[in-house]
Amino acid sequence: MTTPAEFYETHRELLDKAIEAAGARDYWSAYPESPSKSIYGETAAADGEQAFKALLGKDFPVEVPGATTHVATERSPYGIELGIRYPKGEPGELIAAARAALPGWRAVGPHGRAGIAAEILRRINARIFEMAHAVQHTSGQAFVMAFQAGGAHAQDRALEAIAVALAESTRIPGTTTWSKPQRGGDPLRLEKTSTVVGRGVSLMIGCNTFPTWNGYPGLFASLVTGNPVIVKPHPGAVLPLAITVQIAREVLAEAGQDPNVVTLAVEEPGESIAATLATHRDVRIVDFTGSSEFGNWLEANARQAVVYTEKAGLNTVIVDSTDDYKAMLRNLAFSLSLYSGQMCTTPQNLLVPAGGIETDAGHRSPDEFAADLGAAVGKLLGDPKRAAGTLGAIVNDGVLARLAEAGSLPSVVHASTEVADEQFPGATIRTPLIARLDAADEKAYTREWFGPISFVITTESTEHSLRLFTETVRDHGALTASVYSTSDEVLAAAREAALDAGVHLSQNLLGGVFVNQTAAFSDLHGTAANPAATASLSDSAFVTGRFFTLQSRHHLSEQSHA
């Protein structure tokens, strides 16, 4: 056994650094994003692949309270057979087990809980290659992206949440002495104790595309602030979170804690256990990433809980002018292509003034810009092998159906095509579709088309673009926005418009940074200031609603006066 305090001591330096980095918000990362042998070891890649393959077609080894049956619901976007069966418990039993684990978890205190959380992360990182395969074959992310976004970056986001949660839950000291001077007498003296108490049972509802990256912040923030967590993965992406739960329970048991502090909740498709769990009176925190439809439903119906959602919106690019047209097109083409646009951060609406844009390569009309962007996508994805590595695979049939629907739009300027994968002949891979629209076509572009579908939209002017941007994002939300302009006035107006719209803004991205990527410990993800999300990963507001500080006080006796 290792006590929680010992785990804290083991990871104290890392946690201190993480708290410092989350405050400084310059560049910092704890988990290397390169799948290199020099970092992870000679055999790590082969071992991880073998560990992943050993899981296929079997009962997944994790204990679930009250489970009597197993379910297998996953399908690899790369076409391989998975057939992993997960034990399935009833919602009532999962909640009862979590409630039973609550008092013990409260007694551990913030530091011990952060120590255990950091140890869980250490072991997740040690299995990063296995995790990358798990993420690849559930989300459809290409392997290197799965390693980075689903592995190292998800771990960084988790550590960031742990750091913010530990910092916020320890701002009020555990014990203080209060001594109030009295005129002509001894001071009034009290000893006061503050205890962090979790809000209650926490539910994390995972998504299909980024099960770890989007799921970890809520999971770890709830854990550190004293809440047992029921992890409910998307039926299409169970494995990455099942591995996570397995590791968490292993560490909890080693620390002498009830492993039911973290449990796995799986279901057959259509059982809607997320809704059942989220509206249960004893579930007090809900974290959700996924569709606006279900996210809005949760916000309206899970009234007994605080609900942190990350949904969808109209990610917008305002194109005004540029002094590096080629670099702009390359940057945008990559943003549209990465993981086939299946990121909640992929740009959908590109606003271009009818009068065209000024560039270092001359004036471009909206049609010319759309054609150039299509060509840039074509060039980026010209080599099938490189294309497959950028695009990944299509996560599910919903995306394919939207792609077919978009294909019937009147003005497609870059059609989506199939790409073959050498390694996985059964993979479903598609290039991005780009269509032309007008500002008047708001019925089409004020809807979110999740997947590799984007629109070049003609506006009256850049001023009109900015107004359209603010209005549509205010009404429908967005997780990202970017602007291209050589004019300081336009950039200033865009910053003000982004503040009004309530969205983060990237300006003139031309190099190796893309609007759809955010870095833990520096960029916040989501703002909570527009309808696309009620949470921001990971600011103070993301953690402070998860716990209460309860005080007790008593007179200080004279003997402890010294």
Is there binding between residue 443 and a copy of itself (CB under 8 A)?
no
Q: Which residues pair with 185 in a beta bridge?
A: 182
Give the H/E segment covering residue 400: helix 397-407
SS3 of 530, please? coil
Burial of 440 (0-12, 13-18, 19+ CB in 10 A): exposed
Characterize 497-528 residue by residue with b for buried, 16 or more Cβ atoms within 10 angstroms of its Cβ, and e for exposed. bbebbbbbbbbbbbeeebbbbbbbbbebbbbb
Is there binding between residue 177 and a copy of itself (CB under 8 A)?
yes
Is there binding between residue 513 and a copy of itself (CB under 8 A)?
yes
Phi-psi region of 256 (alpha: psi -120 to 50; beta: other; left: phi over 0): left
Among positions 209, 260, 416, 506, the unique one binding a copy of itself when judged by CB under 8 A: 506
Shortest separation between residue 495's beta carbon and a copy of itself, angstroms: 5
Shortest separation between residue 546's beta carbon and a copy of itself, angstroms: 9
> Could you tell me if 116 and 255 are in contact, meaning their C-beta atoms sit under 8 angstroms apart?
yes
CA 308: distance to chain centroid?
12
Is there binding between residue 446 and a copy of itself (CB under 8 A)?
no
Among positions 194, 276, 279, 411, the unique one binding a copy of itself when judged by CB under 8 A: 194
Is there binding between residue 106 and a copy of itself (CB under 8 A)?
yes
Between the two ends of the chain, the Cα-to-Cα distance in Å is 38
Is there binding between residue 555 and a copy of itself (CB under 8 A)?
yes
- Give the count of residues interacting with a copy of itself (CB under 8 A): 64
Among positions 244, 322, 390, 508, the unique one binding a copy of itself when judged by CB under 8 A: 508
Among positions 73, 209, 345, 527, the unique one binding a copy of itself when judged by CB under 8 A: 527
Give the H/E segment covering residue 352: strand 349-353
Is there binding between residue 23 and a copy of itself (CB under 8 A)?
yes
Is there binding between residue 536 and a copy of itself (CB under 8 A)?
yes
Residue with tokens 């982004």: 498
- Nearer to a copy of itself by Cβ, of 179 and 423: the residue is 179
Is there binding between residue 556 and a copy of itself (CB under 8 A)?
no
Is there binding between residue 407 and a copy of itself (CB under 8 A)?
no
Token pair belonging to 385: 């092998």
Is there binding between residue 524 and a copy of itself (CB under 8 A)?
yes
Among positions 2, 291, 486, 544, the unique one binding a copy of itself when judged by CB under 8 A: 544
Residue with tokens 């833990």: 520
- Nearer to a copy of itself by Cβ, of 554 and 561: the residue is 554
Is there binding between residue 199 and a copy of itself (CB under 8 A)?
yes
Whole-angstrom distance, CA of residue 250 vs CA of residue 243 = 11
SS3 of 87, please? strand
Whole-angstrom distance, CA of residue 51 vs CA of residue 22 = 33
Is there binding between residue 297 and a copy of itself (CB under 8 A)?
no
Measured CA distances, 39 to 35, 377, 382, 553 (Å): 7, 33, 32, 51
Is there binding between residue 539 and a copy of itself (CB under 8 A)?
yes
Print the binding letters for residues 109-148 with a copy of itself: x by CB under 8 A, - otherwise: ----------------------------------------
- Nearer to a copy of itself by Cβ, of 198 and 235: the residue is 198
Which range of residues in 384-392, 401-409, 445-453, 494-502 is near a copy of itself by CB under 8 A? 494-502
Is there binding between residue 498 and a copy of itself (CB under 8 A)?
yes
Shortest separation between residue 187's beta carbon and a copy of itself, angstroms: 8
**DSSP string across 292-306:** HHHHHHHHHH-TTSE
Is there binding between residue 529 and a copy of itself (CB under 8 A)?
yes
SS3 of 552, please? strand
Is there binding between residue 372 and a copy of itself (CB under 8 A)?
no
Burial of 173 (0-12, 13-18, 19+ CB in 10 A): exposed
Shortest separation between residue 549's beta carbon and a copy of itself, angstroms: 6
Amino acid code (one letter) for 306: V
Among positions 2, 3, 276, 540, the unique one binding a copy of itself when judged by CB under 8 A: 540
Residue with tokens 């990063």: 128
Token pair belonging to 112: 């011990």
453 phi, psi to nearest 5 deg: -135, 120
Shortest separation between residue 194's beta carbon and a copy of itself, angstroms: 8
Is there binding between residue 171 and a copy of itself (CB under 8 A)?
yes
Which residues bind to a copy of itself, rule: CB under 8 A?
A: 23-27, 34, 103, 106, 168, 171-173, 176-180, 182-183, 188, 190, 192-195, 197, 199, 495, 498-500, 502-513, 519, 522-524, 527-529, 536, 539-541, 544-545, 548-555
